[in-house]
Homo-oligomer: A and B are copies of this chain.
Amino acid sequence: MHEETPHTISIDDLWEIWPTLDDEERVEWFNQLEHEDAEDFFSSIPCEDQAEMFIAMPDRDRKHWMRELAPDDAADVLQLIDDEDLRDKLKSTLQPSVRKEVDALMAYKEDEAGGLMSPRFARCRPEMTADEAILYVRRQMREELETIYYIYVLDSQQHLLGVVSFEDLLKSGDSKKISDIMETDLTTVDEDMDQESVALLFAREDFFALPVVDSDNVMKGIITIDDIVDVVQEEATEDIQKMGGMAALDNDYLQSTFRELYSKRVVWLIVLFCCTIITTKVMDFYSSAMESAIILGVFVPLIMASGGNTGSQAATLVTRAMALDEIKLRDVLRVFKRELIVGSGLGATLAILGFIVATAAYFLGMVPSDSSYASFAGTISISVGVLVLYGSIVGSMLPFLLKFFHVDPASASAPFVTTILDASGIIIYFTIAKLIFL
């Protein structure tokens, strides 16, 4: 695709063409960047891309770029490299002290607090004065700290006692004791908290960083908010993809292989297809009813769509609210009540529309002349109204059911809800038709 030999390139241009390049081309173009640009660029690409760069780059460059990475980033990259030999080789390029930090971080899963944290935080002792603490932090700055914004107050066993901000240090009198100025009412993160909960904590409280502690309140590291922005985007993307009726992709859409796009989509398509076979069976059960009045069959898509659309609205609302922790399992009755009321309103509105459409169909001669206008319009109108209400209830309750059985509520995708509603919707429709129309 890009066959000319690379000369020089700006960081913005490379960012533009980056997704279109394969791994070898990436390394080639990357090497054309000015040294400082290269460092900026390397630190801004996602760790998946960094890992692939390490695989593709020549051995002589690896040490330099490994040492550019902060320990938490190095751990992320190494966890993405499957080839054990290469992983060990890369790890061996690190300084021994960093290697120790990286090993500790690699023990955590990528999507839990421990996997997000950096062990390089600023610390001080409670018995220091503000002045001493500033000097002490300045000394710690020789090894790159993640941030000096917060300074964590630890005892000799590394238990977290409190926190002071650098601003607090500067503001307070120089000889004030840390133990007198530190904030002790702390929000902490457990090392095995999942990243979604960590993100919600950051969204709720306005901190730049939160301390990560183990079960004995020993401080392990800090999570800074810049990593959380990525987590929030990532989690939302995963949810959206699941809600679109597929498994979440590991990469950007354009970066995904055809194989990945296929396999992440085909599974749900097959599941949904098999569910729809039930709908076909139900339709077949009512085929004699359809034979006696083909107009009933003609209205099947309209009736089914009414239920499906309301259902997917309700499921989407509840699923998202659950992801944001606004709705918990115990809210099931409150949600049921809301959907009962709102669904009734929506059902009444759509029933009126259904009545109008049925009237038009009747007077356009689409309906067999031996049937009564009132019973036909009644069938369509009532079916639409009932299915809209029914869709609201089923769509809103399905995420609760999934959550109760510890399945991700985001699996209550629009296609899934629609499919579930289809078969039962047809039964409701033909039952009403049999009662009124046939």
Contacts and interface: CB of A to CB of B under 8 A. Distances in A.
B305 A294 contact: no
A204 to B, nearest CB: 6
A305 B276 contact: yes
Nearest to A233: B203
A334 interface: yes
A346 interface: yes
Classify chain A: how many residues form its interface, as a range: 35 or more
A346 B422 contact: no
Interface stretch (A22-30, A88-96, A102-110, A254-262): A254-262
B241 A244 contact: no
A387 to B, nearest CB: 11
Q: Is the interface of A mostly helix, strand, loop or mixed?
A: helix
Interface stretch (A55-63, A222-230, A430-438): A222-230
A268 B349 CA distance: 12
Contacts of A145: 167
Contacts of A320: 237, 240-241, 244, 253
Interface string A260-291: 01100110111011101101100110010011
A367 to B, nearest CB: 10
Interface in A387-418: 388, 413-415, 418
Interface in A132-163: 137-138, 141, 145, 147-149
A5 B316 CA distance: 38
A171 interface: yes
A17 interface: no
A147 B279 CA distance: 60
Interface in A278-321: 279-280, 283-284, 287, 290-291, 294-295, 297-302, 304-306, 308-310, 312-313, 315-318, 320-321
A166 interface: yes
A229 to B, nearest CB: 5
Contacts of A294: 287, 290-291, 297
A305 B331 contact: no
Contacts of A265: 310, 313, 342, 346
A335 B170 CA distance: 54
Interface in A325-352: 326-327, 331, 334-335, 338, 341-342, 345-346, 349-350
A245 B167 contact: no
Contacts of A232: 229, 232-233, 236
Interface of A: 19, 43-44, 137-138, 141, 145, 147-149, 166-167, 170-171, 199, 202-208, 224-230, 232-233, 236-237, 239-241, 243-246, 249, 252-254, 258, 261-262, 265-266, 268-270, 272-274, 276-277, 279-280, 283-284, 287, 290-291, 294-295, 297-302, 304-306, 308-310, 312-313, 315-318, 320-321, 324, 326-327, 331, 334-335, 338, 341-342, 345-346, 349-350, 353-354, 357, 361, 366, 384, 388, 413-415, 418-419, 422, 426
10 contacts: A137-B170, A225-B226, A243-B243, A243-B316, A245-B313, A268-B313, A269-B309, A272-B309, A280-B301, A280-B302
Given A203-B233, A206-B227, A236-B239, 9 more contacts: A138-B170, A225-B225, A225-B226, A233-B324, A237-B324, A258-B345, A272-B309, A279-B301, A284-B361
